[in-house]
């Protein structure tokens, strides 16, 4: 179960490595300034890049008989072999 940890800016400066490890393990780390919450220390989470349609245009080719299936393959799938 995660727990919340509050530290001052000065404490965070001297304990950054340990606080980072705790944040990575799921603890909520709050850094305070003048007794009030100032920053949340969060683990990095990669965000997926937006998909760009058409970026492979002209790089992929399909054979002319792509949509034709030979009879032996059809028979194999239908269990007639």
Total-model pTM: 0.56
The CB density around residue 39, as the number of other CB atoms within 10 Å, is 12
In a domain, 10, yes or no: yes
37 falls within a domain: yes
Count how many domains the chain has. 1
| Domain of 31, in residue numbers | 4-41
Q: Is residue 72 part of a domain?
A: no
Of residues 2 and 69, more confidently modeled = 69
Residue 36 lies in a domain: yes
Taking all residues of the chain, what is their mean pLDDT, rounded to a whole number? 91
pLDDT beyond 90 at 47:
no
- Does any domain span residue 80? no
Which pLDDT does position 55 carry in this prediction? 85
Residue 30 resides in a domain: yes
Q: How far apart are CA 49 and CA 20, in angstroms?
A: 25
Sequence-separated (6 or more) residues with CB below 8 Å from residue 26 = 2
The pLDDT of 4-12, averaged and rounded, is: 95
């Amino acid at each position: 179960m995660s727990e919340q940890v509050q530290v001052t800016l000065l404490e965070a400066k001297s304990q950054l490595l340990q606080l980072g490890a705790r944040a990575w393990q799921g603890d909520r780390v709050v850094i305070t300034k003048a007794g009030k919450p100032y920053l949340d220390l969060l683990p990095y989470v990669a965000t997926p890049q937006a998909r760009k349609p058409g970026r492979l245009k002209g790089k992929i080719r399909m054979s002319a008989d792509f949509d034709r299936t030979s009879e032996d393959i059809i028979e194999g799938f239908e269990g007639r072999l």
